[in-house]
Amino acid sequence: MNTRFTPNADKLNLKFEGYKLRPFQEATNLIRVPLEGIQVYEPTNDQRLGFRDLQARIRYSNLIYGHPLDQHRGSSFCIDQEFNLHMIVYDKLTRSLETYLITQLIKPLGGVPAFVNLDSTVPIEPQLPSAVSVSRELLLASNGVGDIELIGMEEKGGKMLGTSLASVCYLGVGNEGISPVPCMLLAARQIKTKIVLVVYSRTASKTTEFNIATLELDIPTDTTERLDDGSFVLLLKTLHIQTGPEVPVYCAITPSGNCIFGSEVRYNKIKLLQHRDDDGSAEDGTTTPMDIVENLPKHDAYQWSQEGADITVQFKLPENTPKSAISCKFVVDHVSLLIQNSSISYPFRKLWSTIQPDESLWTLEDNMLTLCMTKVDENTRWPQLFDKDDGVLETLSDQHLSEIKDRLAKLTSENTSSSLVPNHSFVQAAQHPAATDMDEDVDDAGEPVVFGVYDRCGNVVDEFNSGTSRWICSSYEAAHKLPSVCLQMDVDGLVFTLTEVEDKIQIEHTATLDAFAFVQASKRDARFIHHDADLHFASIIESSRNAYLYYHHDDKRLEEVQTLVDLTQGHDVDIMGAQVVHERALLVLTESQLVLICLD
């Protein structure tokens, strides 16, 4: 498989015996600060969300990472119900927390007017307000209904002050059915005089589909045009847009401006067609970031058929493709196929059912790659090739179609003619109920995470996956670092650091969180799972009660320390977010208070 997450044997602790529970010293290492006058934003309960949309919202931390103010002070942000942006400053020397009101974001006016008749598939519900710290002085924020603001901050007289420097509407790609488009920020990074950012939004479709848009805007300067109210004019440029059924579980922007998206699915690129005059206006005279958007034409990447126990899959390859360019492996329940200099890439695709790898093979003849696989159960007819239906129908011969129509005629009443099913379209209607009755794979056990690296034009310049290792978590954010990745190997959690060297992503196994995969799998309520970027600890934080903390050292000791912090003290309040605000200092946000955990 095309995985570069290779374990380093020197980093494994094979003699680890377990964790020893140690009571947390709350009297000296725990600070609780009430949220006086701050009601953390919570969505209304009348919204009906799909599983993948709800999953992405649950993962989102309402406590937003902030850049360090100096050697001793860290920061974080939160947005309240009135769309006020608050800054929380932690001073390590005094072990104190201070909260400052920075500014109020553009407050949404309300729902869609009653006289507007929208299709039922249009996602009119707002997204959560979100923000990403770009630097100590700049922060990007979204109010969830399509307004993106650039916030400027400074420290004056011992207080943190801020204001909205400029705002711009996100108009989407045209398939959302609403404008501006409700969106959430995933990542942002300053690259010289520009800010590259990633947002996601819902499309207007019966099934859950997301647009992952990479955008760019200029940082205002003294020469930037201003509006009458003194704010700057922002121009939002769309670099590329990917679409898929999931929000990336991993999203990062590299120093060169490339984007890394990690998800169980591979994203499809949306083609942007811009029709503009020389003055930058659209043909109808309006000025919009994008005028016409359409999907790239879709062609079936392969053909497949089945006969008894045999399944045949064929791919048309580019001219003169050598056998050495093909990497193909058969496993009981999936296939791994990678071809150099080709768009064909299946690093880990789970099959609809099981096969016999020892009796499966591939051949290459006249630029036609043929996979011959043998089913474990020859009496079961597959409704599709892969576990997740990609819409490629089985290629049936005229004889097969005739046999199917004859069987259908025997099962229908005398008044029903088999001529009602005259062509290949019958096959899709006759699929197994398990393949057609599910809108979303809610009970999916999980698949390897595929990491795609996209350049400024949206082209995939690199791709790798987690292989047979299950995704556990990424690290808490840290300034100027790509988040590290923690993957499961046996009972351990293996931490891999991602770095960009000459536009290439290098991956290194830097630490092992002993038995972390085991303890993580044992937690039924685990909302926020992360490790700190400096690898001092890992944390599992529940949605309404406890924080489980697991210490880490690199000396391969037989025992590590585990501790438990009761965050809500039995009160019926939700835990809204968590961030590392300084080395060994974990800040947790609940509905009613801030809880600072010092792990000295």
- The answer to whether 127 and 182 have CB atoms below 8 angstroms apart is yes
3-state secondary structure of 135: coil
pLDDT in tens, 560-581: 999 999 999 989 899 999 999 9
Compute the average pLDDT of residues 429-457.
Answer: 59
Distance from C-alpha of 447 to C-alpha of 470, rounded to nearest angstrom: 7
Give the whole-angstrom CA distance, residue 589 versus residue 66.
Answer: 14
Band of residue 175 on the pLDDT scale cut at 50, 70, 90: confident
DSSP state of 323: G
Biggest CA–CA distance in the chain, Å, is 89
Read off the pLDDT of residues 199-249 as tens digits, 9 standing for 90 and up.
999 888 777 889 999 999 999 888 888 887 778 888 899 999 999 999 999
Cα angle, residue 368 at apex, residues 367 and 370 outer, rounded to 5°: 145
Q: What does the alpha-carbon distance between residue 12 and residue 512 come to, in Å, rounded to a whole number? A: 6
Distance (Å, whole) CA 248 – CA 65: 18
Of 93, 95, 103, 99, residue with least CA distance to 75: 99
In whole angstroms, what is the distance from residue 581 CA to residue 72 CA? Answer: 10
| Res. 430: pLDDT tops 60 | no
The pTM of the full predicted model, rounded to 2 decimals, is 0.73
Q: Could you tell me if 212 and 243 are in contact, meaning their C-beta atoms sit under 8 angstroms apart?
A: yes
Residue 185 and residue 142 in contact, taking contact as beta carbons nearer than 8 Å: yes
Res 483: pLDDT: 96
Between the two ends of the chain, the Cα-to-Cα distance in Å is 41
**Complete DSSP assignment for 532-582:** -TT-SEEEEE-SSSEEEEEE--SS--SEEEEEEEESSTT-S--EEEEEEEE
Residue 460 pLDDT greater than 50, yes or no: yes
CA distances from 401 to 378, 397, 418 (A): 20, 6, 12
Label residue 355 exposed, middle or buried (CB < 10 Å: 0-12, 13-18, 19+): buried
Whole-number Å distance between alpha carbons of 588 and 40: 13
Q: What is the DSSP string of 161-214?
A: EEEEEEEEE---SS-SSSSSPP-EEEEEEEETTEEEEEEEEE-SSSS--EEEEE
Look at 28-37, 434-443, 475-484, 486-495 and tell me which has the smallest mean pLDDT: 434-443
If phi over 0 gives left and psi between -120 and 50 gives alpha, with beta otherwise, what is residue 144?
A: left
Q: Which of 199, 160, 201 is nearest to 178 (CA)?
A: 201
Q: Minimal CA–CA distance to 520: which of 555, 472, 468?
A: 472
Q: Could you tell me if 547 and 539 are in contact, meaning their C-beta atoms sit under 8 angstroms apart?
A: yes
Distance CA 98, CA 95 (A): 10
Q: In this predicted structure, what is the pLDDT of residue 411?
A: 56
Please tell me the predicted confidence (pLDDT) of residue 397: 66
Q: What is the pLDDT of residue 327?
A: 87
pLDDT at 119: 61
Tokens of 116: 């507007």
Across the beta sheet with 345-350, what order do the strands follow? 326-330, 334-339, 345-350
Give the C-alpha distances (Å, rounded to integers) separating 210 from 50, 178, 200: 11, 14, 7
The span from the CA of 280 to the CA of 22, in Å, is: 65
Cα 273 to Cα 391: distance, rounded to the nearest angstrom: 25
Q: Residue 427: is it exposed, middle or buried by C-beta count within 10 angstroms (0-12/13-18/19+)?
A: middle
pLDDT of residue 415: 44
Residues in Cβ contact with 158 at an 8 Å cutoff, skipping those fewer than 6 apart: none
